[in-house]
Structure 1
Amino acid sequence: MQPSVLRLADIDGTPVEALLARYGLHLVRVADGQAIPGSYWGEDEAGIIGHEVYARSDTPVHSLLHEAGHLIVLPPERRATTHTDATDSIAEEDAVCYLQIVLGGTLPGVGRVRVMTDMDTWGYTFRLGSAQAWFEQDAENAREWLIARQLLTAAGEPV
Structure 2
Amino acid sequence: MLTLADIDLHDAEALLARHGLGLERVADAAAIPGCYWGEPEAGVIGEKVYARGDTPVHSLLHEACHLIVAPAERRASIHTDASDSQAEEDAVCYLQILLADQLPGVGSERLMDDMDAWGYTFRLGSARAWFERDAEDARGWLAVHDLLRSEAT
Aligned-partner residue type, residue 56 of structure 1: R
CA shift digits 1:6-42 (9 cap, x unpaired): 0000011111111100111000000000010000011
**Percent identity at matched positions?**
70
> In the alignment, which residue of structure 2 is the partner of 1:157?
152
- Show the counterpart of 1:48: 44
Match in the other structure for 2:5: 9
Q: Does 1:139 align with 2:135?
A: yes
Tell me the secondary structure at the aligned position of residue 23 of structure 2: strand
Contact 1:35–1:42, Cα closer than 8 Å, also in 2: no
Count how many residue pairs are aligned between Structure 1 and Structure 2. 153
Q: 1:41-80 residue pairs with structure 2 within 5 A?
A: 41-80=37-76
In 1, the alpha carbon distance for the partners of 2:34 and 2:69 equals 17
SS at match of 2:68: helix
TM-score, normalized by length of structure 1?
0.94
Distance in 2 separating the partners of 1:59 and 1:136: 26
Paired AA for residue 157 in structure 1: A
Distance 1:133 1:14 in 2: 31
Query: Gaps spanning 5+ residues in structure 2: where?
Result: none
Among 107, 114, 117, the residue aligned to 1:111: 107
Q: Does 1:26 align with 2:22?
A: yes
The normalised TM-score by structure 2 is 0.97
Moved over 6 A (4+): none
Report the residue type matching 2:147 in the other structure: L
Unaligned 5+ segments in structure 1 are none
3-state SS, counterpart of residue 88 of structure 2: helix
Indicate conservation of the 8 Å contact 1:40/1:47, yes or no: yes
Q: CA RMSD in A?
A: 1.1
Aligned equivalents of 1:103, 1:131: Cα separation in 2:
15
One-letter amino acid of the counterpart of residue 28, structure 2: D
Answer whether contact 2:99 2:151 (CA < 8 A) is retained. no
Pick one of 29, 34, 39 that aligns with 1:38.
34
Task: Give the drift of 1:144.
Answer: 1.1
Summarize deviations over 1:108-127 as a string: whole Å, max 9, x none: 00000011000000000001
Structure 2 residue 88 is the aligned partner of structure 1 residue 92: yes
